Amino acid sequence: MCCDVLESSPKELAEYYEKLLNISDELDGKRRSNGCSSTHNPDGTAIIRTSVPPENVLKHVEYEEPPKGIEAETLTDVMRRLHSLTAAEMRTLLKQVHQSGQGTKKQLRARLRRYYRKEFSMYRMLHDGDCVPRFGNKTARHFDYLVAIDFECTCVEVIYDYPHEIIEFPAVLIDVRQMRIVDTFRTFVRPEKNPTLDPFCIQLTGISQEMVDSAPVFKDAYRLFRDWMTQHNLGDSGYRYAFVTDGPHDLWKFFQFQCILSNFGTVPHDCRHFINIKRIFEQRVMKLVKGNGQSGIQNMLAHYNLSFEGQKHCGLDDSINIARLCIKLMQDKIELRINQRMTQRQDRNEDRRLEELAKSDKADASDYHIWHRKLPLKLRQVTRDEFLSEEYLDCDSCDELDE
């Protein structure tokens, strides 16, 4: 029929067009009788409007471009700086992904964390172990560098609640991919609460009164440490890193208490979670035996037929030996991950641990009980699931004011 119409004369086409108009008018009449109305555009085409109750009419909504995938650089930058973002920055980021920007600073951060954590997990699944064999160096999937720390503090003999002050601040930088030590940091620190060292402390640590008298106070020493980290691009927007200690006391006990003494106001966020290498060793390698006259570091080294290098109770030497252990564990394909953190919430597992500790080691239990009650931020374990999902970064220990 289409071919016939195309081959028809002008007169036949006009008649055909007239028939179409008549059919259109008949259809309009039927629609009007069924509750519909029809008008025509200037070109003669029909516009059909159905009589619909106002409450059933949908409001006109402007087309909104769906959120595009977040660039990897932005994604990693937000996850690294999550706890330092201002309210205005968080509202801007939420607006970009069509999320509400209403609420307090705490609510904004929680909303941003939920959205970006999901995106970040997907990104890590797709890019897991970039340039790293899947079954090779597992630690390199999470971190570029590890920072081994072992403080030395003021002390006297057998006083559990003595107000320890940090007098040696060492750090050893480990390149995770290359599995080697690349740099060290060290500064002595002048104590302010008890500026005169006890003879027991001098003999134990080898740190003389002259060394601390000429040293900076803790606030200045900490600033020097942060400057050293910045030189290696370790910060909010730099390489991924984690602190490593031999046990929980260096950061949870000594560093936290020093922050209180030095009026820091709060423990820096990246210092609130760390890798307790002794805990990983006991879970993945073997239980350590106490009472053999050797330190935990020496016992761990002995398992690998390694001897302790340097002087015991020298903070820098202890940190170097912790770094050697980190490298050995990574070479054995053991994953080094965040396994402890500080929080205001009480951990029931820690309560049970305290009970077990009290039965096994009276001295350690007394010390631990005292500091567990005294310090505002409690020690909490981090499971592997909490680590991989980055739930451990949820700052329920944050004392910043909401905005």
Global confidence as pTM: 0.66
What helix, strand, coil percent values describe the chain, rounded to 5? Answer: 45, 15, 40
Q: Say if residues 282 and 288 touch (Cβ distance below 8 Å).
A: yes
What is d(CA 321, CA 374) in angstroms, rounded to the nearest whole number? 30
Most confident of 95-104, 131-140, 143-152, 283-292: 143-152
Res. 14 pLDDT band, cuts 50 70 90: confident
Res. 399 pLDDT band, cuts 50 70 90: very low
Catalytic site residue from 313, 335, 369, 372:
313
What is d(CA 243, CA 230) in angstroms, rounded to the nearest whole number? 15
Instruction: Identify the residue whose tokens are 């086409």.
Output: 13
Whether the per-residue pLDDT at 355 is higher than 70: the answer is: no
Position with higher pLDDT, 326 vs 76? 326
Catalytic site residue from 152, 165, 350, 386:
152
67-72-74 Cα angle (round to 5): 75
What does the longest C-alpha to C-alpha distance in the chain come to?
122
Q: Say if residues 171 and 148 touch (Cβ distance below 8 Å).
A: yes
- Express each pLDDT in 194-232 by its tens digit: 999 999 999 999 999 999 999 999 999 999 999 999 999
pLDDT for 303: 93
pLDDT for 43: 60
Helix axes of 296-303 and 315-331: crossing angle, nearest 10 degrees: 30
Q: How many residues does the chain have?
A: 403
pLDDT for 258: 95
The CATH code for residues 139-393 is 3.30.420.10
Res. 345 pLDDT band, cuts 50 70 90: low
What is d(CA 251, CA 274) in angstroms, rounded to the nearest whole number? 8
Domain boundaries, the chain: 72-127, 139-393
Share of the chain above pLDDT 90, in %: 45
pLDDT for 131: 43
pLDDT for 161: 76
Give Cα 346 to chain centroid, integer Å: 20
Question: Can you give the three-state secondary structure of 91-108, one letter per residue?
Answer: HHHHHHCCCCCCCCHHHH
Whether the per-residue pLDDT at 366 is higher than 50: the answer is: yes
- Express each pLDDT in 16-62 by its tens digit: 778 877 887 777 776 666 655 555 555 655 555 555 666 666 676 66
Q: Judge whether 372 counts as a catalytic residue.
A: no
Whether the per-residue pLDDT at 190 is higher than 70: the answer is: yes
Position with higher pLDDT, 325 vs 96? 325
- In DSSP notation, 238-293 reads S--EEEEESSSIIIIIIIHHHHHHTT-SS--GGGSEEEEHHHHHHHHT-PPPPSSS
Q: Say if residues 149 and 244 touch (Cβ distance below 8 Å).
A: yes
What is d(CA 153, CA 197) in angstroms, rounded to the nearest whole number? 10
Q: Say if residues 265 and 398 touch (Cβ distance below 8 Å).
A: no
Non-local (6+) Cβ contacts of 21 within 8 A are none
